[in-house]
Each structure stands twice: as C-alpha cells, then as structure tokens.
Amino acid sequence: MLRFALKTVHDPRNSLRENSCDSLFKCFRIVLPILIVFAISHTLRASEDASHQWAQWRGPLATGVAPFADPPTEWSETKNIRWKIELPGKGHSTPVVWDDRIFITTAIAVGDSVPPPVRQGAHDNMSTIQRQDFVVMAINRLDGKTLWQKTVNNDLPQGAHQSASFASNSPVTDGECVYAFFGSSGLYCLDMSGEIKWHTSLGQMHALHGHGEGNSPALSGDTLIVNWDHEGPSFIVALDKHTGHERWRTERDEVTSWSTPIVVENNGAKQIIVAATHRIRGYDFDTGKVIWECGGMSTNVVASPVAAAGMVYAGSSYEKRSMFGIRLDGARGDITGTAQVAWSRSHDTPYVPSPLLYDDKLYFLKHYQAVLFCITAKTGEPVYGPVRLPGLYDIYASPVAAAGRIYITSREGKTVVLKHGPEPEILAQNELDEKFSASPALVGKELFLRGEKHLYSISNTGF
C-alpha cells in the first residue's frame, strides 16, 4: 500500500510547475511568431517611413527624387506660401525633414572681423571673417515655429569663397537623432530635444584655394560615413552613430573635393562610393577596403554621384569636362578604360549642382549654368539638350523631382518646373524675393526652399 501510495500521491507543487512550463511553452509558441511579425513589420515600416522623408542630402534615394511627394507646381510671395520664416545667420545646407520636424544648420557671425589665412592660389574669397556660432535648429513643420535652437560650437573658420557659407554641409537624420557636420568645427549628434549625445573632431581641413568646406555625411543603418578630402592627409571614416566611435578609417590619395559619399547596395552587399579628383572609388561598407576605382574626373569635384539599378553615375567640370556611367556588377580593381565603364562624355558636364536620376533618365546642368541636358542613364544616349532655362542664370542648388516634375532653382530666386519625360516641357516659372544656393527638399505636399535669409514652406494643402 505504501508503494502504491507513493506512486499515486500527487504533489501539487509539481503540478503547478508542469502546468506553468506547459503554459509558458504554449505562450512562447504563440508569442514568438507575433514578435517576429512585429519585428519585420517594424523594419518595413521604418524603411517605408524613410522613403517618405527627406532625411539627407539628395533625399530618400540619394538621387534627388522624392518618390511619394507631390508639391505645388506654382508659387509666388503671395501664392501657395504655407509659411515663411526668417533664419538667423547663414547656411547653404539643405533642410532635412522627418515627420513634423525640419532640421536646419546655420552659422551666426559674432565678434570682430579679421583677415582670413592666406591660401596659395586663393581667389574670389571672403575679405574678412568672424567667429561663428555653429547652430542646429529644429522647426515645427506645421507652422514654422522654432522648437529649439542649439549652439554646438563657437569657432573661427579659415575662410571660404565669397559665395559660400560656413554651414554648407547638410545634416542627416534617422528620426531618432540628427547628425550635424560643420567640417573642421566638428561632427555632432543631437537627440530630438536638441541635447548633444556625442561629438567628435576629425581635424582641421585645408581646402584648395581656401574655398571652404561643404560635403555632407551619409548614414546607413548604424553607420555614419564622412569623407575628408583636402590639401593634407585625406581619408574616409565610418563611425558608430550611437557613440561616434570610429569603426574604420581608410587613407585616400586625394586632394580637395566637396562631393558627398553615397551608400549603394549591389547583389546584397553595401558599398560606399565617393567621386573625387584622382579617382571615383567604391569601398566595402564593413571594412573600408577599396573594391574598385576609376580615373578620369576633373579637379575640384563638387557634384555628388547618383546610383540605381546596378549603375553609378558621376560628373565633374573644371579644367576639363568628365562624366561616365559605371556598371557595378563585376567592378573590381582599376576599371579605368574597361568595359565596366558603360559610357563616358567629355563635354557639357555638371560642376556645382549634382545630377538628378529619375527613372531611366539622368538630368544635369552644364557647369553651374542654366543649361539643361537629359540623357538615357544606362547608355548615355541623348534624350534632349542643351536647353536654356528661361530666367535662370547661376545655379548652385541641385535639381530635385517628384510627381513627374523637375524643379530647378537659381541663385536669383527663380524656379523653373519641367515635366519629366522625353521633351523639355516647361510647366511653370516661379519667383521669390530671395537668393537660393541650398538645394530644395520635397516631402508630402510641400517644397522647402532655404534662402540666404528665409525658409519657405511651399504648399497648396496640408502635409
């Protein structure tokens, strides 16, 4: 009986443990798929959100195109201006936009004027410089009111071209932080409330002719990329966006350039592409090692490359004209003059404004003049051009596009809107009482134009 009793007596604690384990297992089997679906949907939603923003220089695709935007075609100082606000200081950086916030960088002159350092070959430069408050601002997209304004540094810059600014590097955001780059005056990570999370200095940049600084950082995943080409030891560096710690740094055999790096995914692998004087190069995203390189650019490279569908396109124009399309598949080592270069041209190429890649067409301006060309991207075959854009002259802002329309803004305050297609059909000519060097940003139903003194929200409806 005793043995029988021992077999049949039930300990309620064992039952509780068994039931608990069983319940936890069942719960785990139910919850795990939900968590996986949630994680995937969150990632997809984040990706989708990014494609609806203007979070970096040249927009969500780094091509100048906003795939989900539909801004107005026509405006003036009295038509389709949602709001217009005065900005402190001066900056040629593009506004970046995430949801209901616009981020702006600017430099505010303070203190006495002094002569800039003498640079060999300097020309058309500022005659005097002042200390600058380097500032990051968050602006309410709804009404244009300043949410916060943060001075991240006070520094004496080395001077710049008379048409430049000390805040020409565009910021980048991931919706959680904003990363503001002021070149020699530092790289800063700020949270959405304007608090500095980290900052770092990459050194002192010595630009050719003392013409100043202007390339922007690139952000992909958790990695921030900065290119540092100047008249000294040049390099490209990858930093952890959470801490600012360097992941890798690669030396570059380069002189001054102002081109912004782009991150391209090809055959499931990311690479960083930088256009510069000696070479355009593709770097391994994880290690910084050179994958391929191609010679043939001019000096003073300013325009950023664009890429899509396994091709990258780069152009420059200074002492010579150069532009080409490169096939990324199979690109290894030195590809100069090989079949990896799908096409090239040696006339009528871009200098300051970057090219616009829209569907299968590549649009670009001659030098920084108001002369437009359109070619078939993959082949380099002409579609149309040269086309003289009416009323426009000097253009520093890069062309942008959305909803089948191309927007080109000049330093005189005028914007020509053209139809995207095989013919240069002009849809509108607009003018504002401002001077524009910064490239526009397109988000939702709005177009944001940052001038020398004002920021405009142009819209004929809400977000």
Residue-level pLDDT, tens digit, the chain, 463 residues: 333 333 333 444 444 444 554 554 454 455 444 443 333 334 334 445 899 999 999 999 999 999 999 999 999 999 999 999 999 999 999 999 999 999 999 999 998 999 998 887 888 999 999 999 999 999 999 999 999 999 999 999 999 999 999 999 999 999 999 999 999 999 999 999 999 999 999 999 999 999 999 999 999 999 999 999 999 999 999 999 999 999 999 999 999 999 999 999 999 999 999 999 999 999 999 999 999 999 999 999 999 999 999 999 999 999 999 999 999 999 999 999 999 999 999 999 999 999 999 999 999 999 999 999 999 999 999 999 999 999 999 999 999 999 999 999 999 999 999 999 999 999 999 999 999 999 999 999 999 999 999 999 999 987 7
Q: Reduce the DSSP state of residue 57 to 3 states and report it.
A: coil
Q: Given 288, 321, 354, which residue is the final one in a domain?
A: 354
Q: Distance (Å, rounded) from C-alpha 120 to C-alpha 450?
A: 32
The pair of structure tokens assigned to 458 is: 């142009």
Q: Are residues 239 and 295 in the same domain?
A: yes
Q: Tell me the C-alpha distance between 49 and 326, whole Å.
A: 30
195 plus 234 within the same structural domain: no
Would 80 be classed as within a structural domain? Answer: no
The count of domains in the chain is 3
In the numeric block, the tokens 């914007």 are attached to: 415
- Give the residue from 215, 241, 264 where a domain finishes: 215
Q: Which helix (H) or strand (E) holds 127?
A: none
Return the structure tokens found at 286.
């994880």
Strand order in the sheet with 187-191: 172-173, 177-181, 187-191, 196-200
Whether residues 277 and 346 fall in one domain: yes
The answer to whether position 107 is within a domain reads yes
- The full DSSP string for 407-427 is EEE-TTSEEEEEESSSS--EE
Look at residue 106 and tell me if it is in a domain: yes
277: in domain: yes
* Structural domain for 261, as ranges: 224-354
CATH number, position 210: 2.40.10.480
Query: pTM score > 0.75 for this model?
Result: yes
Question: Do 188 and 121 belong to one domain?
Answer: yes
Query: Which of 192, 215, 238 is at the close of a domain?
Result: 215
Residue 401 has a CB neighbour count (10 Å cut-off) of 26
Co-location of 129 and 11 in the same domain: no
